[in-house]
Structure 1
């Protein structure tokens, strides 16, 4: 960057002072923001040797200076990291961003009300593919209009740098050309376990159970059950329970169960791969009354009977805390909880693997989300929001997320995983990027044969509630698995007018 670059003073100002209000980021995270700004300027045609080009770049990033944006997000790690240090974006653009984080259910309600009012209180939307994008895609801008607008900053490295399955899963709905969101986070459920306990008890478990208990691609859900039961009966001095689950009567229960459903060969709808990626408004009849789904429900009920009793009151945060506090030896959990557990008293003692396989396959539910722009916002606010969307999903901001002490997210871009410092961080323990320690496992989970994509349909909010309500009856009131599956099918078919 040349001395004549008008942004240099802003970049320096953003990184020379004290860290922002949460005092949360390492200096490395701040430097990543500096790199981000430089990369973004270059992507827009900036040149370190051309004052004219630099001026043109300045115009692109400063043209909406003085604007205030409202970003509504689920309470996720990437949003926490950005909220902890959004000053560099403000310095770069002159735009202030108010970030409001909340539970997903509350977010869905607020977004629905905002879209319905037409007032655009929120300009940048955390567009969960299933609970926001599918039912409310008409309220979001097709981002292609900004991608093709030369007066606006370009997406660094282009949209092809996003992991393809995530770009489709988080960004598109029904129309394969329209793009409503850029991939922002990518939580995926994997097997998180106390490696030190498996090392300590592994030989005895293998002797007693007749198989190697070390989590691997060969591990099955039935073996997972036996391992958990063994810990319950033989390792109380070190850990109260073998397993725990996010089985609260909430969206988390649907997620936890879906891993088992797909592993056993069950599915919500026919042609589930298409229904779960590009999405549809006509999914057809629900398939949960089929034998594979009932078998999965029967196993899941059995598994939860030996799980930590707190499981039926836990969502993903409850499981994360139970792992970090040593209440359970292992759990299916979102991979981005690696930063949380590695930062706890058992840091350095964790292992990560894809989830066990069932009779059909290993299935690891993808929970990633993109960020989009409210179509009801004014033209100026939409374009200002585009600047934030580009910046927040840029490779260098994602590196900052990895370094964040508040447990930032993991990358949605291929190029970030290829960076030497990220590759090195995968091999360090403790790591300066703790979430990246789960990368090997999650990359296995993202393979087409292993990833689990829930249905992307407009009625999913209603279907999700039917699923976790009936599953809760099965777990808490001992409702029969076959009755549970048939009740869910009936409710979903009614919701979809089948």
Structure 2
């Protein structure tokens, strides 16, 4: 059964976008103290447009994430401002995608606002969502503070658009991104000895390579007992394995499809032939296999949550993982963790982006869509994002550039930080640059392709096939899936 918020806070669970570990979603009841002023002052200069849908009750279907828990805990000011009540239904992401599919197939229009995962929801069902320019261009509706341009451009494209760069189908809502997380205390303690042994400064830097990462991991394996292993990975037979591997694939110059940047940024119905058979993809897979051989053996049983727990427990010295673990890292290892952009491969550095936007269903009547716009506007407003970031839930990372210029946010990038997620800001904002961001294909059948990829990678890590064999088998399966998708199109 879905949970209907507000109610007692949900227990933490495995989710790519939840702020995992510790009390990530616990304690939501007291997390916000003052939502009344979360909209920018100019947005409230005229409250009449905000009252245009008074008396409406909206239904918001969301994955169970920290931003949603934060907003659900204190909706009263939104209701006071607008006269709109919001019913929030939370589900696991896979169940949410199924629920959206049923709603669209039945044409019921049960959900006004939808957490539109780019790969499971937006790409397969893009036509079911409203172009948000309709409301931003409507002189009778409240406009976004800062407009669409205030959203980080790579977020707006990856989480908000499909196939063309003019329509906006969703507003960026969350933005987990993979970065290098490392025990800064151990790197500092052993820096001189590591540099002598390795022949380079081990401190994570712009030009650190994956080969150097490998050498650092081996050094920790062999030269110190303070951690059991130098590196750990999220290499369970799961979506996490595809995410972990993709960082290497892109860094070696490989990709899933031709023009992978555009396929990931804007998406497409027809991605063409899978490119995993390429020499670059095979080289990336071979390095990944070699890296996992020296990683903590637990890696093959961990997803992102298991990896995060192992890092916080002091079992490993470093790992690639979602940046939003910074809050739980700081709680477990205060002052001991550093963050950097992931290492470079032969071609570039790349870090997986996992953000999602919130969208308005076009199955609901026009009057309800207008009410839904008021909620989207409010839920993604800069001051609302600031409040979510500062919440005791763990803090959803802002998707608006203006939030990062706020003095409170800038100050929080240094310890002691009241917003520990911001300790990873420098690294994660580097990853969001177009040349560094890693974007999986935004295509309608990506969920099936994802399974094919991590199945074959898992077999490679188990020794059942070679890197070339795994890439070839994955490409064959992906091509069959996308060909079927083209045959099924009307």
| TM norm structure 2 | 0.89
Find out whether 1:412 has 2:399 as its counterpart.
yes
Find out whether 1:483 has 2:469 as its counterpart.
yes
Match for 1:369 among 346, 356, 367?
356
Shift of 1:199: 1.3
Take 2:320 and 2:92, find their aligned partners in 1: how far apart are those partners? 20
Match of 2:75 in 1: 86
Find out whether 1:400 has 2:406 as its counterpart.
no
Deviations 1:466-495 (A, max 9, x none): 111211222235421111100111111111
Match of 2:286 in 1: 298
Deviations 1:73-113 (A, max 9, x none): 22333223223333322332233323333432232222222
Shift of 1:282: 1.8
Shift of 1:45: 4.2
- Where 1:160 maps in the other structure, the secondary structure is helix
- Do the aligned residues in 2 keep the contact of 1:171 with 1:370 (CA within 8 Å)? yes
Shift of 1:348: 1.6
Find out whether 1:43 has 2:27 as its counterpart.
no
- Do the aligned residues in 2 keep the contact of 1:190 with 1:442 (CA within 8 Å)? yes
Structure 1 residues 103, 200: closer, same or farther in 2, change over 3 A? farther
Structure 1 residues 74, 158: closer, same or farther in 2, change over 3 A? same
Match for 1:207 among 177, 182, 196?
196
**Which stretch of the first structure deviates more once superposed, 291-300 or 157-166?**
157-166
Find out whether 1:168 has 2:157 as its counterpart.
yes
Structure 2 residues without counterparts, runs of 5 or longer: 1-25
- RMSD over aligned Cα, in angstroms? 1.9
Pairing of 1:421-436 with structure 2 (within 5 A)? 421-427=408-414, 429-436=415-422
**Which stretch of the first structure deviates more once superposed, 95-104 or 249-258?**
95-104
Structure 1 residues 367, 205: closer, same or farther in 2, change over 3 A? same
Match of 1:8 in 2: none
Take 2:209 and 2:147, find their aligned partners in 1: how far apart are those partners? 40
Match for 1:314 among 289, 302, 322?
302
Match of 1:105 in 2: 94
Structure 1 residues 70, 475: closer, same or farther in 2, change over 3 A? farther
- Do the aligned residues in 2 keep the contact of 1:240 with 1:327 (CA within 8 Å)? yes
Take 2:96 and 2:186, find their aligned partners in 1: how far apart are those partners? 39
Take 2:297 and 2:367, find their aligned partners in 1: how far apart are those partners? 52
Take 2:90 and 2:297, find their aligned partners in 1: how far apart are those partners? 29
Take 1:389 and 1:477, find their aligned partners in 2: how far apart are those partners? 48
Shift of 1:24: 4.0
- Do the aligned residues in 1 keep the contact of 2:320 with 2:342 (CA within 8 Å)? yes
- Do the aligned residues in 2 keep the contact of 1:269 with 1:287 (CA within 8 Å)? yes
Structure 1 residues 98, 305: closer, same or farther in 2, change over 3 A? farther
- Where 1:401 maps in the other structure, the secondary structure is helix
Match for 1:234 among 201, 220, 223?
223
Match for 1:358 among 340, 345, 349?
345
Structure 1 residues without counterparts, runs of 5 or longer: 1-19, 47-56
* Richer in helix (by share): 1
Find out whether 1:274 has 2:276 as its counterpart.
no
- Do the aligned residues in 1 keep the contact of 2:358 with 2:376 (CA within 8 Å)? yes
Match of 1:443 in 2: 429
- Where 1:135 maps in the other structure, the secondary structure is coil
- Do the aligned residues in 2 keep the contact of 1:293 with 1:485 (CA within 8 Å)? yes
Find out whether 1:334 has 2:336 as its counterpart.
no
Match of 1:224 in 2: 213
Match of 2:176 in 1: 187
- Do the aligned residues in 2 keep the contact of 1:24 with 1:406 (CA within 8 Å)? no
- Where 1:155 maps in the other structure, the secondary structure is coil
- Where 1:34 maps in the other structure, the secondary structure is coil
Take 1:81 and 1:290, find their aligned partners in 2: how far apart are those partners? 44
Deviations 1:311-350 (A, max 9, x none): 2222222222222222221111111111121122x12211
Take 1:85 and 1:257, find their aligned partners in 2: how far apart are those partners? 39
Take 1:326 and 1:99, find their aligned partners in 2: how far apart are those partners? 37
Deviations 1:56-75 (A, max 9, x none): x2x42233334332222223
- Do the aligned residues in 2 keep the contact of 1:312 with 1:476 (CA within 8 Å)? no
- Where 1:98 maps in the other structure, the secondary structure is strand
- Do the aligned residues in 2 keep the contact of 1:281 with 1:457 (CA within 8 Å)? yes
| TM norm structure 1 | 0.88
Take 1:469 and 1:24, find their aligned partners in 2: how far apart are those partners? 42
